[in-house]
Structure 1
Amino acid sequence: MSPSKPSIVFAHGLWADGSCYSKLIPVLQSEGHEVVSAQNTLDSLEGDVDAVHRALGRVSAPAVLVGHSWGGYVITAAGTDERVAGLVYVAALGPDAGESPEELIGKFDPPPLFSHLDNEDGRIWIARDGISDFCGDLPQEEQQLVWATQGAPRAEVLGSRLDEPAWRTRPSWFLVATRDHAVNPELQRFCAHRMGATVAEVESSHTPMLSRPEAVLDLIRTAARSVR
């Protein structure tokens, strides 16, 4: 891999795992980037930040962190690490200090997906009839694969809080998914504006890395060029 190009470290969101970036990773590797996709536990913010820090230890600095959904919360906490040069948010949550995901989501109308969740044994699952609100612009076969492989977060993660948001000291980029039924697009725009991010929009469900991978790649490339 090229030492002149920043590394890319991915953090996935709720109901996913590191393989949700499978349409991006080979392309970025072929373009000369070191790439690692952290496997978040979805048990706690602290555990997921630790997973990102371990991933940073597997690549060369400087690195660009890319977070989808809850992964945006994770990179906002983990991105204060000195090895991090920039932050890319994809249909994500971008909190401020002391702001929980639950509070942030509550600033705008609740997204349709939240009517199709099951809480079992302290874990939150997407009900089968809710998968179209998560990734409805994917072919049916891919939607069912996403449903079958979902990672179920502990309910407590929605009450997580951080002390220092990395976007106050790191440049940030934000991809707003305009047809998102899991994170309100207006909430995404609010977060992006508040952090002073460079913003792009894509007509996509909550999973543009799967349905519109080129749009996500373009924003990552922009960020990577900017922090070289």
Structure 2
Amino acid sequence: MPIFRALLLAAGALALPIGGARAAPVPNHLKNIVLVHGAYADGSGWRGVYDILVRDGYAVSIVSQPLTSLDDDIAATKRVLDMQKGPVVLVGHSYGGQIITDAGADPNVKALVYVAALQPDVGESVFSLAKTMELPNGDGRESADGFLYLAPEKFVANFAADVPADLAAFMKASQMPVAKLAFMQTTKVASWRSKPSYGIVATKDVALNANLERWMYKRAGAKITEIDASHAVFISNPQAVAAVIEEAARAVK
């Protein structure tokens, strides 16, 4: 075999991922996904979704916002958006939905995905939306310095009932409180009014009212997917959540 041909074949073999399977082709016009976590959690919860998206050829970034105020969390998200090269699908879980609603005004954001998330309009806050449909549980607590958290003994049942027990226990131990101020601050820009959006309803959600999720998504004209899962649907059902994100990415023209 000529040396040049042998080198080409060898290079091709080295380019294959382990196991010999190629990642699914990603459209040239959109490959960037930015994931935003919500209250009481951190960016590590996206690991399962991240692994699937990366396997399928997407470039994925995860925001680790401080949960100190809505303005701070939007700024942290914009910081990650500024690092992207080209169009982006912006994804938010829970309170992260309010963050992406404002941050999604970035011109590079082409679609929004709400995962058991708030999808507020201008002038709405977490607290104002919660008043429209009562939250399923009353297990929130407030620290002396004004941060909100879920009662530890109730965390697993309310947030991650369908997550493997060892992981749910770790999530409880690593719970991130959120500033009460963040839940009081209102949305300034409803980017879903000018951009396509997708909404995932977690039908067994007892941290955020599933009917509130449906109502917000319907109001926004979002494409709705229902998944039989807890509030931590992005952890317990990463394949289903990733499928919706990829659908949003493929739909961008």
When normalised by structure 1's length, the TM-score is: 0.95
Q: Highest CA radius of gyration, 1 or 2?
A: 2
Ranges in structure 2 where 5+ consecutive residues have no aligned partner: 1-24
Ranges in structure 1 where 5+ consecutive residues have no aligned partner: none
SS in 2 for 1:23: helix
State the 1:10 CA deviation.
0.7
SS in 1 for 2:92: strand
Partner of 2:142: 119
Cα distance in 2, alignment partners of residues 45 and 33 from structure 1: 28
Deviations for 1:43-100, whole angstroms, at most 9, x for unmatched residues?
A: 1111111111111122222000000000000000000100100000000000000011
Partner of 1:130: 154
When normalised by structure 2's length, the TM-score is: 0.86
Amino acid of the residue matched to residue 127 of structure 1? A
Partner of 2:71: 46
Partner of 2:252: 227
Amino acid of the residue matched to residue 96 of structure 1? D
- On the 8 A contact 1:34/1:59 being kept in 2, the answer is no
Cα distance in 2, alignment partners of residues 47 and 2 from structure 1: 32
Cα distance in 1, alignment partners of residues 68 and 46 from structure 2: 20
RMSD: 1.4
Cα distance in 2, alignment partners of residues 208 and 129 from structure 1: 20
Partner of 2:10: none
1:80 lines up with 2:105 in the alignment: yes
Q: Percent identity?
A: 37
Cα distance in 1, alignment partners of residues 55 and 240 from structure 2: 17
1:65 lines up with 2:90 in the alignment: yes
